């Protein structure tokens, strides 16, 4: 059984970090064993990584469909359950119906989006995590899980690509 080590490489800019991701791939380290830690949002395309799958759009679409159903119920079924006769108006008036449908669709789509982001980010996360104070100063960190045999090669490659520091990392419960 091979020993797995965690290495943390700190970079000052995104360009050397992107080059480091490419070098790690060349060494045989898969994207699943590489975590990018940054204080600013960095897209997958900036680092040349594959697009990460997200379920947020599905949750938003599901919320919109539920909102349409709830809006339909409020706009069309409720007037039949409790009829109010107002002279000169249709039984189901058009403009208020459009407003109710729109508001229910938007409300439940917003709630679905929030739920999707909440579940996709796996919050709350009770697993041990790595906190790096340098990240708060604008640096970019690469947390690399590699076999013990590759550790020296990875450390050498990161230093050649301009890493400020490469050190062993240990995940701690915060």
Q: Is the pLDDT of residue 136 over 70?
A: yes
| 58-68 per-position pLDDT tens digit | 999 999 999 99
Q: What is the layout of strands, in order, in the sheet containing 34-38?
A: 34-38, 140-147, 4-11, 165-168
**Burial bucket for residue 88 (CB in 10 Å: 0-12, 13-18, 19+):** exposed
For residues 136 and 95, the model is more confident at 95
Domain ranges of the chain: 4-53+127-168, 56-120
Average pLDDT taken over every residue of the chain: 83
The answer to whether the predicted template modeling score (pTM) of the entire model surpasses 0.75 is no
8 — phi, psi (to 5°)? Answer: -120, 120
Residues in the chain: 174
Q: Domain 4-53+127-168 adopts which CATH fold? A: Alpha-Beta Plaits (3.30.70)
The pair of structure tokens assigned to 124 is 């709350």
Q: Which of 45-49, 120-124, 142-146 has the lowest mean pLDDT?
A: 45-49
């Amino acid at each position: 059984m091979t020993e797995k080590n965690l290495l943390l490489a700190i970079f000052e800019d995104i360009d050397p970090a992107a080059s480091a991701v490419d070098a790690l791939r060349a060494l045989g380290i898969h994207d699943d064993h590489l975590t990018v830690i940054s204080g600013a949002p960095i897209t997958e395309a900036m680092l040349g990584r594959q697009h990460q799958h997200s379920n947020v759009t599905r949750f938003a679409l599901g919320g919109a469909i539920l909102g349409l159903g709830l809006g339909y119920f409020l706009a069309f079924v409720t007037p039949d359950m409790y009829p109010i006769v107002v002279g000169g108006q249709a039984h189901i008036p058009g403009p208020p119906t459009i407003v109710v449908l729109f508001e229910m669709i938007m409300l439940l789509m917003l709630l679905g989006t929030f739920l999707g982001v909440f579940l996709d980010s796996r919050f709350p996360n009770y697993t041990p995590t790595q906190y790096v104070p340098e990240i708060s100063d604008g640096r970019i960190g690469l947390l690399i899980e590699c076999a013990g045999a590759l550790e020296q090669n990875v450390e050498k490659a990161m230093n050649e690509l301009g890493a400020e520091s490469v050190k062993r990392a240990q995940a701690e419960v915060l």
